Chains A and B, each alone.
Chain A
Amino acid sequence: MSRIKSKFQDLKSKNQKALIAYVMAGFPNEKGTISAVRGLVKGGADIIELGMPFSDPLADGPVIQNAGFHALQKGMNFVKFLTLVKKIRKETDIPLVLMTYTNLLYRHGYEKFISIVKKAGIDGLILPDMSVDESKEFLQAAKKHEMDTIFLISPNTTPQRIKKIADVSSGFLYLVSVFGTTGGQQQFQDYTTRAIKNAKNILDGKIPLGVGFGVSNPDQARFIIKSGADAIIVGSAFLRLIENASSEKIESKIESFTKSLKKSTISE
């Protein structure tokens, strides 16, 4: 069983929901990413998404764009990313998901890329620009190497299409909570609640539903969980914290913020 799947089973038995945390590899630098991951693990995050920077991140808002740009400027690349993943794997068994854009996989070849990151310790992949309609080769390669494929759905995705996407998803399904890019901080509207309920109905317990984009504090996390999500996904809020922390404070600041978010996933 994959690390992600067994994590969700474990949480279910404890009557908890999952906290999925995103950090950008190499932001502010490799050491900073390691510190952030330590803080996340200590604070009780359940799954970590590691962003691998891409030059043209068209689904991302300003915070993740800036973090990715910064990481690339500092020389983050595929080899350094793998080294980072291996270092993290030595310290923790937490499920690790790689989030990046399709071209980085296509350029190496889907199969080659997936087999290499799997060996380094990555458990799943999220590609915001990989459409299910173009995914045949990608899915074959992922299946061969037992890599979870986490696809995204949106509040405007039709029920029929949600089914189609859920069929090829493994680990969890990622619902984009709002119309917009990552890191928006607006108040959630009714359509988000409706989208969560609708997706949960269609999925019928077959795969966990994670909700992200714009979830940035414990109140919002509680709201999303109350609407029926199995996991909350928080990204830009962590990056903002990292951006404003001195390097020796990253770990402790992340840890306490993680704790405050994790609380909202445990039913009282």
Chain B
Amino acid sequence: MKLKYPKNGKFGEFGGRYIPETLVPAVEELEEAYLKYKDDAEFNKELRYYLTQYAGRPTPLYLARNLTEFAGGAKIYLKREDLLHGGAHKINNTLGQGLLAKRMKKKRIIAETGAGQHGVATAMACSALGLHGEVYMGYKDTQRQKLNVFRMNLLGSKVHPVKEGTQTLKDAINEAIRDWITNVKTTYYLLGSAVGPHPYPVMVRDFQSVIGNEILAQMKELEKKSPDSVVACVGGGSNAIGTFYPLIDEDTKMFGIEAGGKGIKSGHHSATLVGGSKGILHGMLTYLLQDKEGQISETHSISAGLDYPGVGPEHSYLKDAKRVKYDAVNDKEAVEAFLLLSKHEGIIPALESAHAIAYAIKIAKNMPKSESIVVTLSGRGDKDVEEVGRYLSKNVKNKK
């Protein structure tokens, strides 16, 4: 079931390359470079150096005793990607692609960002590697994640607020692609999730697979076996695919958790795999949230990082192959988990990761104490404190 380097980027019927012709030479050049360097000893040595000395890998696998006790079932381990430099797993990918861009002699880097985590990770990698970074961000997202906009500026990257369309992540991707079409010769597009045209979904997965590889090694040491279950949140799905891919051939149950927003039935959500249908967007064939004519739907989630109407094509493949179970957690449950983990473990999770925490608590209850769940804590929640504050005050008012 593991598709190491699928031909033409096809995960079954999903993936591929649905792109304007101007970008074809660019993705071909990228694929050629990636194939040349992905197993190159010198490249991997340099990447390992930056991941270790700059980003802080390996990250701990922490047994959350208090949360485990609270749930009252299986042991809950947290894979602490929140402890990485910048506060999220995104740096695994930006360092990898940044080093690749350098070898391709591309000095100008563009990226899109939703919550701002990938934008910040791009800005850090650009700064560390001597590259010039520009980040597209939906205007709505720049408003709800002001801190990250400020951070990107501090780190030396330019932020372009995108006022087209729904002013969120998908529009930021559209605008980044338009920039890429215009400046294709000089510019490297550093995509932040396992989405887009081939080879991005494979390449981003490979750079993020360090998460799952470490989980496997750490669990074999701590529990003498691979985890019984793993849980990760899914927006575009990069931390999830990085968690799942190395474990696909293990005897591990996998759960990908999408943003249920105000509830699937309400229509205000971002749960692409749970509530979507097949379609073509951003260069790939995958599950999408769209209307019956194929217009892309407006999505909703309290977490900007999950607020995306598409999903990585490998997740679509793993869903249809029934290897991973995809489910949704709504805004309210995510906020509860955010508060719970903060209070019980002294760890403030990103709202994205809080979706995975909420689900892990649910399934832990029904699992024996001898079993273990690993939750990928994809990022820390400092960026979300204000948003949660707003949510709580609004909902307290509504109750009155």
Contact = CB atoms under 8 A, between A and B. Distances in A.
Interface stretch (A3-11, A148-156, A224-232, A250-258): A148-156
Interface stretch (B179-187, B220-228, B389-397): B179-187
Interface string A41-65: 0000000000000111111010001
B155 interface: no
A86 B185 CA distance: 43
B276 to A, nearest CB: 12
Given A58-B178, A158-B25, A102 B293 contact: no
Interface in B50-70: none
Contacts of A105: 294
A175 B233 CA distance: 42
Contacts of B165: 55-56, 69
A232 B309 CA distance: 36
B24 interface: yes
B25 A181 contact: no
| Residues of A in contact with B, size category | 35 or more
B22 A179 contact: yes
Nearest to B293: A78
Nearest to A53: B295
A152 B290 contact: no
A28 interface: no
B374 to A, nearest CB: 35
Given A56-B174, A181-B178, A104 B25 contact: no
Interface string B151-172: 0000000000000110000110
Interface string A85-103: 0000000000000000111
A55 B291 CA distance: 11
A159 B206 CA distance: 33
A176 B17 CA distance: 19
Of A105, A107, A151, A161, most B-chain CB atoms within 10 Å: A107
Nearest to A81: B293
Contacts of A176: 20-22
A267 B189 CA distance: 44
Given A102-B280, A106-B294, A129-B18, A58 B174 contact: yes
A118 to B, nearest CB: 18
B366 interface: no
Interface string B279-312: 1111101001010111110000000000000000
B19 interface: yes
Contact of B22 (A78, A134, A156): A156
Nearest to A175: B21
B21 A179 contact: no
A103 B293 CA distance: 9
B174 A152 contact: no
B149 interface: no
A179 B20 contact: no
A207 interface: no
B174 A179 contact: no
Contacts of A180: 181-182
A76 B173 CA distance: 24
A55 B282 CA distance: 12
Given A103-B279, A129-B18, A59 B296 contact: no
B280 A152 contact: no
B107 to A, nearest CB: 17
A57 B173 CA distance: 11
Contact of B181 (A102, A104, A181): A181
A77 B282 CA distance: 22
A107 B292 contact: yes
A129 B19 contact: yes
Of B170, B290, B295, B296, most A-chain CB atoms within 10 Å: B295
B354 interface: no
A100 to B, nearest CB: 9
B170 to A, nearest CB: 6
A65 B280 CA distance: 18
Contacts of A155: 22
Given A104-B293, A107-B294, A58 B20 contact: yes
B279 A131 contact: no
A55 B285 CA distance: 16
B381 interface: no
A130 to B, nearest CB: 7
6 contacts: A104-B293, A104-B294, A129-B19, A131-B19, A156-B25, A179-B184
Counting from the closest, the 8 A-B pairs by CB-CB distance are A107-B294, A154-B22, A104-B294, A180-B182, A103-B280, A55-B296, A103-B294, A55-B295
Interface of B: 8, 16-22, 24-25, 164-165, 170-171, 174, 177-178, 181-185, 277-283, 285, 288, 290, 292-296
Given A154-B24, A156-B185, 16 more contacts: A55-B165, A55-B296, A56-B165, A56-B170, A59-B178, A65-B164, A78-B293, A102-B18, A103-B296, A106-B278, A106-B279, A106-B280, A133-B16, A154-B21, A179-B182, A179-B185
